Chain A
Amino acid sequence: MSDQQHPIDDDERELARLYGKLPRATPSPALDEAVLRQAREAKPVTGAPASSPRSRPRHGLRWAGALAVAASLVLAANLAWQQRQLPAPQARLETAKDKAASAPAASVGDNATASGRVTAPQPAPAVAVEGEVAARKAAPPEPVREKAATVSQAGVPAAVERYVAALPPPAAPSAAAQSRNASSAPRALRTPPPEPPPEPPTQPAPPAATADAMAKAAAPAAVVAPAQPPPPAEIGSPPPSPAAAPPELAESAPSIDQRPALEGTSVVSESPGDAEPRRRVAAIRQMLRDGHEASARKAYGDLRRDFPGFVVPRDLAPLAK
């Protein structure tokens, strides 16, 4: 302590002198011994405090803690991401269904709306058969047929044509049927193909055995001719049939391998205008026998689309699945 920094005047010196005369208390020996014992019991420190190895575990623990926190954050983010991803496909499906349901609904005509049916948005021609619409008003509401409506309308596929060509010609194809076929196929070809269906093509289609279709099939060719080619609005959308096999029956239907045994029992309309569909049925059966099931399914779908009034044999019903 320097006097220049802390000058001690005479009064302070006098106080310091007098303070020095005060009793000089000292700690007791027991207190001294307690403190010294505590110092002896203290473990000596080895090494410099700053670089002591004991500080390394602290760094390690700090890193471990940081890593644990980071790992937890990554895990939580991953879980959150997965939680967000899970409902996405479901939402997409719902969105697609909503879109598919709303798009045709927006173009449903008054008649279709009255009958509760949903038809394709393509405008039907004038021959779109008011009588047929009126007849189908009595039919129960059909399910949404967007899938069937989006089935390719490019006409008879080449595979079917090949099989048809391989088959013997029909016994007596009528001129009306020929002209009808000649006119229906190009019209179908002219129809722009809609978007491919979102669902797989194996989805079962309702059978077409309606009373109304059977009546039309039994009608004279001149009467049936304008109505037989399905209107574009109903292409690929066969009417629901009260006789349609329920899903449980469809599931219990015999397998494709058993179908030849059922051929004789199939119900085929005997109308003279059914020559073409019967020819296709024969071709489909030939495909099945040859093992071309995919082609048979496609031909079956085309048959149902092109001849919605045609009563398909029951042995081909499993192809509708």
Chain B
Amino acid sequence: MDRPTDDDAALMLAWVAGDAASFPVLYSRQKDRLYRFILRSVRQREMAEEIFQETWSRAIAARERYQPGARFSTWLLQIAHNLIVDAFRRQRPESTGETYEAAVASHPGDERSQPEHALSDFQQRRRLQQAIDGLPGEQRVAFLLRMENELTIEEIGEVTGVGRETAKSRLRYAMNRIRELMTP
């Protein structure tokens, strides 16, 4: 995984200062994590693409106000999370996840797995996917931020706009729920 570092903030500042070549580098480092977080949160490809593009648009528009006090990925995920929450509010009830499952099925899995374990891995991934989809929205976001983006408890709270204890509680409930669902 391409772990984001403080270099992302430096790239952002360089692009704001006029270095046009910094932005493609920054984008290539952040796009996959951001896209997967959005897609697994909203579970709709069209909505995920729309939110993904809108997230970058807002980041570009707010480049003058960017302060490198926090990690760039945290700032970017915060923008995306706000857009996801707005999308959830606009679109209720939530999607059943069928669209997301179809999108996931269209992508090839990890080809490194051994053939004899393919069925087992496939079943485990399917269970994991069902467990993630079955989580409440806030717990799912906390889980995705932890697993996909490797954020700390504090960063999860910062992105979702809650305190540390709340973020920790959400993450703990999400983990326990997934373990329960993964247990045969």
Contact = CB atoms under 8 A, between A and B. Distances in A.
B107 A49 contact: no
A44 B27 CA distance: 17
A21 B52 contact: no
Given A5-B152, A15-B178, A46-B18, A28 B109 contact: no
A19 interface: yes
A74 interface: no
A67 interface: no
A18 B125 contact: yes
Contacts of A39: 15, 23-24, 27, 56, 60
Contact of A15 (B1, B53, B175): B175
A42 interface: yes
B152 A12 contact: no
Interface stretch (A29-37, A199-207, A265-273, A295-303): A29-37
A40 B148 CA distance: 28
Nearest to B106: A23
B163 to A, nearest CB: 16
A134 B128 CA distance: 126
Contacts of B108: 23
B165 to A, nearest CB: 14
B104 A23 contact: yes
Given A19-B147, A19-B148, A21-B113, A38 B36 contact: no
A26 B35 CA distance: 6
A59 interface: no
Contacts of A25: 35-36, 39, 103-104, 107
Majority SS of interface residues in chain B? helix
A101 to B, nearest CB: 76
B175 A11 contact: yes
B57 A38 contact: yes
B168 to A, nearest CB: 9
B132 to A, nearest CB: 8
A113 B183 CA distance: 118
Contacts of B178: 15
B60 A38 contact: yes
Q: Which of B56, B63, B107 has the most CB of A within 10 A?
A: B56
A86 interface: no
B128 A19 contact: yes
B32 interface: yes
- Tell me which of A24, A26, A28, A34 has the highest count of chain B C-beta atoms within 10 A of its own C-beta: A24
Interface in B47-76: 49, 52-53, 56-57, 60-61, 63-65
B124 interface: yes
A27 B35 contact: yes
A261 interface: no
A45 interface: yes
Given A5-B152, A45-B16, A15 B147 contact: yes
A182 interface: no
Given A15-B182, A20-B110, 16 more contacts: A5-B153, A16-B147, A18-B182, A19-B147, A21-B113, A23-B104, A24-B32, A25-B103, A25-B107, A35-B53, A36-B23, A38-B56, A39-B15, A42-B60, A44-B18, A44-B20
25 contacts: A1-B151, A11-B175, A15-B128, A15-B147, A15-B179, A18-B125, A19-B148, A22-B128, A22-B129, A23-B107, A23-B108, A27-B31, A28-B49, A31-B52, A32-B27, A34-B53, A38-B56, A38-B57, A39-B23, A39-B60, A42-B63, A44-B20, A45-B18, A45-B64, A49-B64
Interface of B: 1, 15-18, 20, 23-24, 27, 31-32, 35-36, 39, 49, 52-53, 56-57, 60-61, 63-65, 103-105, 107-110, 113, 121, 124-125, 128-129, 147-148, 150-153, 175, 178-179, 182
